[in-house]
Amino acid sequence: MDERFLLFGNLPVTKEFRVDLNRIVWGASLGFVFFVALGGAPFAGFLRELGVSDLMYSVMMAMPAMGGIFQLFAAYFLERTGKIKKMFLISGIFQRALMIPVVLLPLFVPEGMENVMFTAMFFFLGVSALGAAFNGVSFFSWMAVLIPIDIRGRFFGQRQMMLYFTGMLGGFVVSFLLDTIGGYTGFAVVFVLVTIMALLDIACFLKVKDPPFKKSEENVPFVQVWKEVLLNRNFMRYTTFWAVWIFGVAMPGPFFITFMLEYLKISFVEIAVYSAITNIFIILFGRIWGSLIDRFANRPILYICSSVIAVLPLVWFVAVPGMHYIPVAIVHLLVGMFWGGIELTSANLMMGLSPDKNRSVYIANFSVISSLLGSILPFVAGGLLMQMTADLNWSVLGFNIHNYHILFVSAVVIRLFALIFLLPHVREDNSSPVKGVLRHTARRLKKSINTLKS
């Protein structure tokens, strides 16, 4: 790899290992555009173009993550075989490639055969999700073995910066194509392009070192291995917190997009501009959160970032058609500043609180619960709540309250419950108090301001 394009010059690693770190990051940067499209406005717009109901919309938005429920079986398979790299590569291809037939079906299925089309879509989305289950377990297990704990914060922080930078650029291109081409053809063009990029992501891992993976030598029954995970009290405390927290985050998730598209009448390009605000601030704060994590550990950073994100849906109350620019920009700016810290700390805690033995099963258990309570159940719950309150139209203190607002308030209550009652019980070695992080940040900020004044 050309020396000019090598990142991580600040990390105390060999050149050979540095090249592997770059393969991981440059590959993921290509693939991230695929996940931006799949989890954001492009896939949401595609489903709305199909004319599905709120409930069906929620279920289909959850489908790409639904394979998480199979991650326990994927982990058990990994523990028995130890084929971590092979499993990652094969499952990654299935996960990504099967999105192409999903978006091509509306172009080729005749009218009157919608039931056949939706059945085929569910099949391809299901197999893709199954591939995602094996891909997710193998990736995090691979990274836990490959990346030393003392550089994880900085590595994943810089990786996050790269992902969101390419995601921002790709988001503009995708939005431009959707607004320019339009219809099913536009969605087909977009998803074929991003899927090709996602397959190139997998190709970048072909030469990454495949470190020795300590597979289980004992023929231990699957139920017994899973029971061991459930009896690890601290890991399960963290898993419980994350399950409740991510439920509150995910429940309104798909409907933030429809709120902008249908209620605020925002175009795909304008959404891309707001997404760019988020991405820019994630990039700017990625290195900061990574350094703070390596210095103060993950738990206090997670607490600080979650405190802001917990109440953020309330800002949507002041966003109305024609007067939405400032509140929507504020939401995306604060998400950019603080969501990156949550992403980094949640992944690091998942890897750090799981022991070396049967680590992939711990990661899978975490991912299964995250999938159920972070996509499937909250998406369905959000869809049901939207349908049950569809006719709601109140006026409170001059604000028009619709079903969207009920959904947003419900999400805030759930997030605050997780933050106040569950996170304090999670323990992490060498974790600093939140006050210590805030004092350090205040001193650094004061020093920076004084430097600018002088």
- Determine contact, residues 390/208, Cβ cutoff 8 Å: no
pLDDT above 90 for 133: no
Encode 228-297 in three state secondary structure.
HHHCCHHHHHHHHHHHHHHHHHHCCHHHHHHHHHHHCCCCHHHHHHHHHHHHHHHHHHHHHHHHHHHHHC
220 — pLDDT class (breaks 50, 70, 90): low
pTM of the model: 0.74
At 261-284, the pLDDT tens digits run 888 988 888 988 898 899 899 888
Tell me the pLDDT of the chain averaged across its residues. Answer: 87
pLDDT above 60 for 2: no
Q: What is the mean pLDDT of residues 65-82?
A: 78
pLDDT at 361: 82
Q: Would you tell me how many other CB atoms lie within 10 Å of the CB of residue 448? A: 10
At 180-199, the pLDDT tens digits run 898 889 999 999 999 999 99
| Among 204, 290, 291, CA closest to 5 | 204
Q: Which residues of 317-337 are buried (b: 16+ CB within 10 A; e: fewer)?
A: bebeeeebeebbeebbebbbb
pLDDT above 70 for 398: no
Beta-bridge partners for 400: 395
Q: Where would I find the H helices in 98-113?
A: 99-108
Q: What is the mean pLDDT of residues 344-353?
A: 90
- pLDDT > 70: percent of the chain: 95
According to DSSP, residue 112 is labeled T
87 — pLDDT class (breaks 50, 70, 90): very high
pLDDT above 70 for 82: yes
At 427-448, the pLDDT tens digits run 998 889 999 999 988 888 788 7
pLDDT at 88: 93
Domain 12-208+221-453 is classified in which CATH homologous superfamily? MFS general substrate transporter like domains (1.20.1250.20)
pLDDT at 198: 93
In a 3-state reduction of DSSP, which class is residue 83?
Answer: coil
Q: Which of 4-8, 50-54, 98-102 has the lowest mean pLDDT?
A: 4-8
Which of 44 and 237 is assigned the larger pLDDT?
Answer: 237
What is the distance, to the nearest Å, from the Cα of residue 92 to the centroid of all Cα atoms in its chain?
16
At 291-315, the pLDDT tens digits run 899 889 999 999 999 999 999 999 9
